[in-house]
Amino acid sequence: MYLRPPPKGPEWGGDPEAGSAARPLYPMMLESPQLRWAFVRKVYTILSIQMLLTIAVASVVVFVRPVALFFVSTPAGFGLYIFLIILPFIVLCPLYYYYQRHPVNLLLLGLFTVAISFAVGLTCAFTKGEVILESAILTAVVVVSLTAYTFWAARRGHDFSFLGPFLFAAVMILMVFALIQIFFPLGRVSLMVYGGLAALVFCGYIIYDTDNLIKRYSYDEYVWAAVALYLDVINLFLSLLTLFRAADS
């Protein structure tokens, strides 16, 4: 499971004592609908490119067996595997500060996506094809369904910002659960429970981040919005993969 990036703009506020003007909680209220929808299309275009890149890189790792074997059977490969797992967290730091600087933001985003794609590919390389296909199909159905629901609910005035604290607490619980599982393996049932709970949490994050995309992100935060949604989709897929792989074993 990959950590989510720190918040970058979904909830804004000004400091009256510092003399800074409060930024609007709902930028779309001060923008033309055309500008807001252009922003939404831009984010989903970037997200689509990220997903295609992830599928391409992961497919190479899965189907070109020497690649996967290099990572798991040689010391250099294992060290590179650990580095690729850590790299997305490292890239998030400069991305946090350069998310508005083009084209540096897109280059960092590409590096971030490729690093995660390798990790996803290595996870899938040693998983049954049926399990991967089942997880991918269910992830696609859930993402499309929850996205459509959130847009429908937003048009009717529903707000999902209240989910933020609960989802953050749930991610902290999942992290502790994962650490316990690493040092004190609790067996197949606990992995199934972990995968199921994680899937529910990231379903909530898809709704929360889509709501932020519609209402709160400003136009120049398209990279940060794409990162948030991309991590939601990837973490949902990995959670379902954990669940189905544990059930299959």
In a domain? residue 8: no
Residue 54 and residue 62: Cα distance in Å, rounded?
Answer: 12
In a domain? residue 1: no
Q: What is the pLDDT of residue 11?
A: 44
In a domain? residue 22: yes
What pTM did the predictor assign?
0.85
pLDDT tens figures, 176-207: 888 887 787 777 888 888 889 999 999 999 99
In a domain? residue 109: yes
Residue 115 and residue 200: Cα distance in Å, rounded?
Answer: 25
In a domain? residue 4: no
In a domain? residue 107: yes
In a domain? residue 39: yes
Task: Provide the phi-psi class of 9: left if phi over 0, else alpha when psi is between -120 and 50, else beta.
Answer: left
Asked if residues 58 and 121 have their Cβ atoms less than 8 Å apart, the reply is: yes
pLDDT tens figures, 90-136: 888 888 888 788 888 899 999 999 999 988 998 888 888 889 999 99
The count of domains in the chain is 1
| Residue range(s) defining the domain that contains residue 107 | 16-248
